[in-house]
């Protein structure tokens, strides 16, 4: 430990001696090349700025207008013995509300044969109640409910995406 500390101190002393004697001119020339830059935002020396969130008329956008949803919502009640609801005109949902009775194994949303969303039911350690506000809307043309008996139920409601 003492030896490594002595080596570090010796290196610092040698560097200071070389910098102050042998390399004195090179250090002085390098310092002369450095320029001071001062940025101040005073009325006399204002820093130019430009708004970036402007509309087509050059006005600042405060909030984008939002068109309310006025159509496209729906709901369905399905029995738990594998049953499906087909939609000839596929709904598009922006939010889902799902209630599954205790004997439900799963609930599945598909579109053109592709799985869009699937939820495990309470019989498979899933949730009995699910409420989702979707960040991206989903479209589906079939909802399938599977449970232990025909007395089990899948209740699905959705908020549409039609302006």
Looking at the predicted structure, is the pLDDT value of residue 40 above 90? no
- Complete DSSP assignment for 102-116: TTEEEEEEEETTEEE
Q: How confident is the model at residue 64 (pLDDT cuts 50, 70, 90)?
A: low
pLDDT of residue 26: 72
Q: pLDDT per residue over 74-117, tens digit each?
A: 999 999 889 999 999 999 999 999 999 999 999 999 999 999 99
SS3 19: helix
User: pLDDT tens for residues 109-162?
Assistant: 999 999 999 999 999 999 999 999 999 999 999 999 999 999 999 999 999 988
Rounded CA-CA distance 79/54 in Å is 53
Q: Which residue would you say has higher pLDDT here, 35 or 64?
A: 35
Is residue 37 helix, strand or coil?
Answer: coil
Strand order in the sheet with 142-147: 83-86, 142-147, 104-111, 114-120
Q: Is 161 left (phi over 0), alpha (psi -120 to 50) or beta?
A: alpha
Strand, helix or coil at 10?
helix
Region of poorest pLDDT, from 24-38, 55-69, 145-159: 24-38
Question: Of 17-26, 64-73, 129-138, which has the strongest mean pLDDT?
Answer: 129-138
Q: State residue 24's pLDDT score.
A: 66
Q: 99 Cβ partners below 8 Å, 6+ apart?
A: 128, 129, 153, 154, 155
Confidence label for 7 from pLDDT (cuts 50, 70 and 90): confident
| The pLDDT value given to residue 65 | 65
Residue 24 to residue 141: CA distance in whole angstroms: 81
CA distance 70 to 61: 25
Distance CA 148, CA 102 (A): 9
pLDDT at 25 over 90: no
């Amino acid at each position: 430990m003492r030896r490594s500390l002595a080596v570090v101190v010796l290196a610092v002393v040698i560097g200071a001696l070389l910098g102050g004697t042998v390399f004195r001119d090179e250090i002085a020339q390098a310092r002369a090349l450095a320029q001071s830059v001062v940025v101040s935002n005073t009325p006399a020396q204002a820093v130019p700025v430009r708004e970036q969130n402007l509309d087509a008329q050059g006005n600042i956008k405060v909030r984008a207008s939002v068109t309310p949803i006025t159509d496209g919502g729906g709901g369905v009640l399905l029995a738990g013995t594998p049953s499906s609801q087909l939609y000839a005109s596929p709904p598009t949902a922006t939010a889902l509300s799902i209630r599954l009775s205790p004997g439900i194994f799963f609930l599945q949303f598909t579109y053109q044969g592709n799985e869009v969303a699937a939820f495990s039911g309470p019989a498979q350690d899933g949730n009995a109640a699910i409420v989702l506000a979707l960040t991206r809307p989903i479209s589906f043309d079939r909802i399938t409910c599977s449970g232990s008996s025909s007395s089990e139920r899948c209740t699905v409601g959705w908020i549409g995406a039609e302006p």
